[in-house]
Structures are given as C-alpha cells and as structure tokens.
Amino acid sequence: KCRTGPLDIVFVIDSSRSVRPFEFETMRRFMTDIIGNLDVGPNATRVGVIQYSSQVQNIFSLKTFFTRVDMERAIKGIVPLAQGTMTGLAIQYAMNVAFSTQEGARPPHKRIPRIAVVVTDGRPQDRVTEVAAQARNAGIEIYAVGIQRADMNSLRAMASPPLEEHVFLVESFELIQQFAKQFQDKLCGVDMCMEREHGCQHSCVSTPGSFYCECNPGYRLNVDGKTCSPIDACADGRHGCQHHCVSVRGSYSCRCRAGYYLSQNKRSCTMIDYCSFGNHSCQHECVSIPNGHYCRCRSGFTLQPDSKSCRATDLCNGVDHGCEFKCVSTEGSYHCVCPEGQQLQADGKTCSKCGAGHVDLVMVIDGSKSVRPQNFELVKQFVNRVVDLLEVSPQGTRVGLVQYSSRVRTEFPLNKYHSADEIKKAVMDVEYMEKGTMTGLALKHMVEHSFSELEGARPLSHNIPRIGLVFTDGRSQDDISEWARRAKESGIVMFAVGVGKAVEEELRAIASEPVEQHFSYSADFTTMTHLVENFSLNICPEEGKGETEIRSPCECEALVQFQTNTVAILQSLTEKNILWARSLAQMTARLEDLEKQIANKK
C-alpha cells in the first residue's frame, strides 16, 4: 500500500482511434493495478478518471467513488471515444474542472498533493506546452506516460520537474503493466515521516519526497512548521459573549458574572430575579440586584427600620406644596384645593375667582359659492385675529372651527389643538367648499357635535362659557329657527355676524338676548365699521335690572373679554380697509390728473 498520506489523483487517458481495443484493455488494468495499491477514501486518497480524443469525457470525479470496487467497476465500463488526440484540451479540463473543489478536490490550504497521470500513445494535435505550464503553476504535479508512438518532446513539455522522475516511455502496451510497479514506486516513494527525524510535535504527514506537520484539533501550527499552540477562540473578539469568554481546545464557552445566569442563546446573561423566589416579605415593592434584593416603598411612603414595611408620608407637611389656599394629603400624593366659588388654575396650585376669560368657542363660517375665494380668505384672517387674542390651552380657551355650504364639515374640534399657532396654521389650510347655504344644518351640527364633551367641550358644571359665532353672507336654504332656539336653550351664547346678502331676520333669530348686543351686519367684506359699532360690551347685565337671566361673575367676565377681543379685531380689519380705500382714491385722483394733462396737450 501507498503510505504517503492522502492524494488527489486524476488519470487522463488517451482513447483516440490509434489505441486499439485490446490495447485500451491494458490501460484499464494499468489504472486498476495502481488504484489497488492506494489507500482510497474520503479522508485518504481520492481518484478521478477522464478520457479524451477530440473531446474530453469525465468518467468519474474525485468526489464520486471512495471504494476500489466502485472505481474498478466504472473503469471497466469505459467506452473509448476513438477520435483525435487533443491532449492540451484534456489537461485544460483537468486543471479547470477535475481538480476544482466542486468536483471533489481538497482546498489548497489543506496541502493535499494534486497529481495528474497523462497516458497517451501519439503526438498531440493541439498545443500542450502553455496549458501544461499553467497546470503546474496551479499546483498540479503532472506525470507523463508515453506508449509506443508517443512523442518524447511532448511528454517532456507536459511533465513536472525533475523530468527524469515524471516522464516515462513504454515500448508497447504489453509492457505497461510491468511499468505499473515502477510507476507505483515513483508515485509513493518512501514514507518520509519514517525515514527521518521529522520533529513534528503532534503528527507528521508524508508526501512524495517530503512531509509536513499537522496539529491536533484545537491547535494551530507555529511559524516553525513543527510545534503547535492552543487556538484561543476568544482572542478575535467575535465570540459574542456578554460577560466572559473561556477558550477550550480551539473552541470557547461563555460564562456570566456572579448574580447572572447564561441565557438560552449561550451568549447573553440575565440577572437572577431574586424577588421571584417569593420570600422577600416586602410590603410594597421588591427590587432585584446582583447577588440579592432590597425593598422599596411607593411614592409617599417611607421604608421602616425593618427594611420591609412602609408607612404613609404626609406630603403636605413634608414638602413645599405651593398651594395658595389649602393642601390635601392623599395616600402617596397630595393636591391643592380652592375656596368655594374660586377655580384652581392650570398650574394646579393657585386660585382665581374667574377663569381669566377662558371660553369654549366654536366658529361656524359660511363657505358657500356666494362668498367667493378672495372674501373667504378675509374670513380666515378674521378667525386668526380672534385666535391671536385668546389664551389657548387645554385648561384655558379651546377653539373649534366648522365650515358649511350644502353640507357641514368640522375643520377641527375643540380638543384638536392646544396652542394658538397650531390653530392658526390649521385655519390657513382650510379649503373653500363653495355650493349652497345650509345654515340650519350647520347649527344642528354645532349643537349635536361641536359642543359635545366627546369633541372637547367642558361640562357645564365647570362654568366655562360656550360661545358660538356664526359668520354668513346670505339667506339660508333651510330653516334655522329650531336649531337656533335649541342652541340657546342648551346654554350656548350665540353671536351672529352678517355680510352682504345676509338676512337680518335670520341673524336676529340666531343671536342671543339681548339681540342688539349679539348680532352685527355689514354691506360687504371690505367695510366692517358697522360691525364694530354694533358690538356692545354690556353683555353681563347688573343684578336686579331684570333685563335677562343673572349669570355667574366668572362667566360674565369671560364673555366680556371675548367680546372685547372680537371688537378689537373687527376694528383692526376696518382700519386696514379704510387705508386701502384711501390709497385707491389717491391713485384714482392721480389718473384723472394725468388724463387732463394729456387732453390739454392735444
């Protein structure tokens, strides 16, 4: 047996027409004799066979068979091609295909010798010198065996150096079997690991004419090529261990610090939950820490000397609560309260007799076709000027906007936005609806939806005034009386602003009592002077006059502030319109003067 260690051997057999059938049989026996003396197997020597003539045929590759019986059976089944002699093509195929890792050759880093045995009886019909040099440079050791008519120069061009050990010429096919023994000696040679002191620390692997050292699993070969060192699998930092990496014979394992256990992924660590054991006896909360636990009380409680039980803390006496009137302690917390008739402010500490003018305001604007786009922009400006003077916040004034034409659309409810900037941006993004004027439908929507607590209106018990401001420019196409009445009966203070073709009778029906103080009218959008004149600040009558129902002081104060702000906005818009009208008059006068000058020159 060949004891030189594993080899990858490929026989490249000439089956051109010059090789007669009985001669081809001797080539079969030549291959089977050599294979019979090899230690074949997946981890030992692997064997492949290809035959060639004018083309190349793979009989079996290095990964096909791993027993001599299977190999011999395949060799007996070879049918010669009986065509030309393309030896260079066959060597090219062996280099690119037969010795590829895909076909079973071991990777180069494993240092398994790659040996090609080329057997031919004639002169190649293609060029072999260049392709054979490429094969040798690729690490393939080539033995060239010529029979009878083989060309010696071609054999020498194919073979690896030294040529005297890699080139063989046999006089006839009858002598090839005798040559097999000689070739076997050349191929296997002596066991270099047995013949000399190799110095390998772990194991020696013999190759034809040489040897190399290998290390046991978990070790790597040192630069001296003989000694071995344990592989530190933790050193490259790719182990992924969360806490500690422990190297073990070329592998590694992860370990956790005290107080942690290794997770199922064998890399990350989880802190041991000592509280889950159920024996902590903490009255409120148990907190796990590495190697133990401690007890913690909820906010407003103090941990007792036993480190387990908790007692409530009177926060009103123990902290600077900042309550203006009175602090009330509760379990683990506190809150401020105000005297009867006063309201707690948004800061949760101070008290105020009134809500600083805070209201729930829903503006209902006419988006019908008669308004026209340019005037609709003026309406949006009016809305934003109102917003500018309000203290908008969830606890202060809340603003909602509804647009109507033939249908009604909530642009945003009372609880949608919590700052003036958000509201003003939303107003400018409102799109003009056009079409009809269904004012009654809009009032119904306002009563049923806009002032519902679902959409952000605060309960009536909070004494926050509810104000509805309707802005229209024409006669309604539906009845308004019922829902105008229902709005006022439900506690909504209604203001009606009419422009252009708005009907005074409808505006009066919408407005709250006293009507004269809650509705206004202007002939067009650019002259709103009359609107300003008609707004009165006296909307909260004095007690005892009997003119209307007595309102609470806080509610009246809020209504007064809202009306004051609205009047200021209308006044500002009117002043701008007056300036615009003056500028227009000046331009008209100048044009008239120019016309007169031109006429005089003519």
Residue 99 lies in a domain: yes
State the CATH number of the domain containing residue 325: 2.10.25.10
Smallest Cα–Cα separation from 72: which of 26, 34, 32?
A: 32
Q: Give me the pLDDT at residue 148, please.
A: 77
pLDDT tens for 122-152 read 889 999 999 999 999 999 999 998 887 788 9
- Are residues 484 and 431 part of one domain? yes
Strand spans (E) along 225-345: 228-230, 244-248, 251-255, 260-262, 269-271, 285-289, 292-296, 301-303, 310-312, 326-330, 333-337, 343-344
State the CATH number of the domain containing residue 120: 3.40.50.410
Q: Give me the pLDDT at residue 236, please.
A: 76
Per-residue pLDDT at 284 exceeds 60: yes
- Are residues 479 and 505 part of one domain? yes
- Are residues 346 and 376 part of one domain? no
Q: How many domains does the chain have?
A: 3
Q: Give me the pLDDT at residue 549, please.
A: 43
Q: What percent of the chain has pLDDT over 90?
A: 38
For residue 431, give its domain range.
360-537
- Are residues 318 and 376 part of one domain? no
Residue 285 lies in a domain: no
Mean pLDDT across 462-471? 88
- Are residues 338 and 477 part of one domain? no
Domain's final residue, options 355, 387, 409: 355
Residue 388 lies in a domain: yes
From the centroid of its chain, how far is CA 554?
53
Q: Give me the pLDDT at residue 113, please.
A: 87
Residue 255 lies in a domain: no
Residue 533 lies in a domain: yes
- Are residues 467 and 339 part of one domain? no
Q: Give me the pLDDT at residue 542, please.
A: 37
- Are residues 384 and 339 part of one domain? no
Q: What whole-number distance in Å separates Cα of residue 80 and Cα of residue 22?
A: 11
Q: Give me the pLDDT at residue 181, please.
A: 62
Smallest Cα–Cα separation from 149: which of 129, 169, 165?
A: 169
Residue 326 lies in a domain: yes
Domain's final residue, options 494, 512, 537: 537
Domain's final residue, options 297, 330, 355: 355
Smallest Cα–Cα separation from 169: which of 160, 179, 161, 177?
A: 179
Could you tell me the pLDDT band of residue 235, with boundaries at 50, 70 and 90?
A: confident
Residue 288 lies in a domain: no
- Are residues 393 and 342 part of one domain? no
Residue 531 lies in a domain: yes
Q: Which of 152-161, 260-269, 332-341, 471-480 has the weakest average pLDDT? A: 332-341
- Are residues 343 and 408 part of one domain? no
- Are residues 367 and 322 part of one domain? no
- Are residues 342 and 454 part of one domain? no
pLDDT tens for 550-599 read 345 566 666 666 666 666 666 666 565 556 556 666 776 777 777 777 77
- Are residues 461 and 335 part of one domain? no
**The model scores a pTM over 0.85:** no
CA angle in degrees (0–180, nearest 5) for 77-83-89: 90
Smallest Cα–Cα separation from 359: which of 500, 556, 580, 140?
A: 556
Q: Give me the pLDDT at residue 564, please.
A: 66
